[in-house]
Amino acid sequence: MLIDNCCLVNVYSLIYGRVLRMKDLFIAGGTSGMGKGLAIHYLRQGTRVTVTGSNRLRGKEFLDEAARLGAADRASFIQADLLSLSENRRIIKEVQQRHASLDGLVLTAMQLFPKRKLTPDGIESTFALYYVSRFILSYGLTELLERGSNPVIVSIGGTGMTKGVVHYDDLTLQQGYSLLKATLQGGRANDLLGVAYAENHKTGKTRFILNHPGYTHSGTNHLAQPFKGIQRVMGKLFGQPVEKSIQPIIKLMDNPPPQSLIAWDRTRAVDLNLPTLSKKDALKLYQLTKHIL
């Protein structure tokens, strides 16, 4: 008899104990889309939630919504540019000041760059946001996570996809940039981040969850025209709502499987032996990233 993989999460709760309530959560990219959806969900559960985003107005909208829920004292917003190395490091310090521990770190910030753009640190912008920022926040907040009850890192991306590669000799994509090439490189690097983190923290209790939520209509505020209009139409026609996309993620966050690396494509577990989840490649990228930083 076939069993839906999504139901396996409930089996874990029977085997490994009751769900532990998430008390403290930090979400990078939590002022819109799935990040905001998760933030609001956990505020309703009584969690202390800090989010970061680059837009002050959307940050205020998040805080206003938290106030309407009666959770103003548990919601915080940090305005920051995740493309910047120094801003990521500032975020870590601010989160450390606001939280004595973390039960969850959610990495969901993403932006499309139709034209090649380097950050002030000289990093290609998609790679900086999709991978480097997540690298810095994951390792920089590990100490707080290890103090949590049942800590998880959740990185939203395209896990399960096998297209695209990391261009180790040209990470800035100086030779032949395209939006698709940059996005696929960022996605594959994000997968390898999870693999390397799990390898580097075998003795820790923090689990790393790679999740592909599927095509989601998560808003168009981060896009420029003509992509904003195209995405709005595509989202309404084919995208699933944020409320639906976050449900499998919530189940994994509330009661994660026991292994250090968890990879899911929507409601199905991903084969950890995929070439895009190579431990050798993951550690190679880890060492290269340490050198860059």
> pLDDT grade, residue 159 (50/70/90)?
very high
What is the 3-state composition of the chain as percent helix, strand, coil, each rounded to the nearest 5?
Answer: 45, 15, 35
Measured between its terminal Cα atoms, the distance across the chain in Å is: 49
Transcribe 28-78 into DSSP letters: ETTTSHHHHHHHHHHHHTT-EEEEEES-HHHHHHHHHHHHHTT-GGGEEEE
> pLDDT grade, residue 237 (50/70/90)?
very low
> Residue 9: pLDDT above 80?
no
Percent of the chain with pLDDT over 90: 83
Contact 267, 160 (CB under 8 A): no
Structure tokens belonging to residue 279: 């431990």
> Residue 238: pLDDT above 90?
no
pLDDT average, residue stretch 196-222: 86
- Closest residue by Cα to residue 155 from 183, 125, 180, 187: 187
Structure tokens belonging to residue 147: 């103090």
> From the CA atom positions of the chain, what is the Rg in Å?
18
Structure tokens belonging to residue 46: 């009584």
Render pLDDT for 25-63 as a digit per residue (tens, 0 to 9): 999 999 999 999 999 999 999 999 999 999 999 999 999
- Closest residue by Cα to residue 152 from 211, 74, 66, 221: 211
pLDDT average, residue stretch 172-185: 97
Contact 215, 240 (CB under 8 A): yes
> Residue 246: pLDDT above 60?
yes
> Residue 13: pLDDT above 50?
no
Interacting residues of 32 by C-beta distance below 8 A, sequence separation 6+:
53, 58, 218, 219, 221, 222
Render pLDDT for 52-95 as a digit per residue (tens, 0 to 9): 999 999 999 999 999 999 999 999 999 999 999 999 999 999 99
Can you tell me the distance from the alpha carbon of 142 to that of 154, in angstroms, rounded to the nearest whole number? 13
pLDDT average, residue stretch 228-234: 50
> pLDDT grade, residue 272 (50/70/90)?
very high
Q: What is the pLDDT of residue 215?
A: 81
Query: Across the chain, where does the E strand assignment appear?
Result: 24-28, 48-53, 75-79, 104-107, 152-156, 207-212, 216-217, 240-241, 261-265, 268-269
- Closest residue by Cα to residue 116 from 190, 170, 193: 170
Angle between helices 179-200 and 279-292 (to 10 degrees): 100
- Closest residue by Cα to residue 119 from 85, 157, 88: 85
> pLDDT grade, residue 243 (50/70/90)?
very high
- Longest CA pairwise span in the chain (Å): 55
Phi, psi (degrees; rounded to nearest 5) at 13: -65, -35
Q: Measured at the alpha carbon of residue 146, what is the angle toward residues 142 and 152, in degrees to the nearest 5?
A: 75
pTM (2 d.p.):
0.87
> pLDDT grade, residue 216 (50/70/90)?
confident
Average pLDDT of the chain is 90
